[in-house]
Amino acid sequence: MGFQLSSKDYAEYIKLAAAKIHENGDYVTALDSATGDGDHWSNINMGFEKLVEAIPELEAMNLFDEFKKIGMIMMSVIGGSSGVLYGSAYIGAAKVLKNRDIIENQDMCNILEAMLEAIMARGNAQPGFKTMIDSLHPAVECYKDCIAKGLSEKKTLSLVKSAAVDGAQSTAAMEAVRGRACYQSNKGIGHLDPGAVTMSYQIETLMDYIAARL
């Protein structure tokens, strides 16, 4: 049997993701200060702090309601475009979990794909625009490819994690099409996109959390 995540497990992952984002505050703020407003980390960190406060409520919910609640909290607490995009991502992913009591391998791939589609639709953005999508999109494509090839869950989780991290790193070579970086003369070339980096933190933490349960 492969991995199975309950709503309580996902709430535990949220706690770990919050810690990962919190501990990288100076680094993410430095990245954002080079190309943006410098407030990406403070906004997303505030959102995850609120999620951690809500864990007793979240872990008692079914998965569908838990994801909707996470989306609503993120949308209401995280400032700027990130709040709307993350809120849309979780509310979009909740639809995948209707009538599901656990998350298994294919479900997790479907969740990440639903998040990607919601973010792309809400942000009117595509891969290569130097945004959080540039971490999430390669992770989703990798996940789908791994399942199609029948790779083990352990191998799949490792490859998806690498795809997300490599995707975030690839934003250094991209010209920004969205956000304040697109107004710079060099369109942010040479700098990582902070939104892609914090997205990679979340996917990395999620893949590690699941792998530890195999």
**Does residue 50 belong to any structural domain of this protein?**
yes
Split the chain (214 residues) into runs of 10 and give each run's mean pLDDT.
95 98 97 89 97 98 98 93 95 96 98 98 95 97 98 98 98 84 75 96 98 95
The CATH number for 201's domain is 1.25.40.340
Residue 148 domain-assigned (yes or no): yes
pTM (2 d.p.): 0.96
Residues 48, 128, 175, CA angle at the centre, nearest 5°?
100
Residue 22 within a domain: yes
Q: Domain range holding 160?
A: 7-212
pLDDT computed for residue 185 by the predictor: 66
Instruction: Evaluate whether residue 188 is within a structural domain.
Output: yes
Q: Nearest 5°: phi and psi at 5?
A: -110, 130
108 part of a folded domain: yes
- In the chain, the number of structural domains is 1
Residue 1 belongs to some domain of the structure: no
The answer to the question of residue 2 being in a domain is: no
Distance CA 135, CA 26 (A): 20
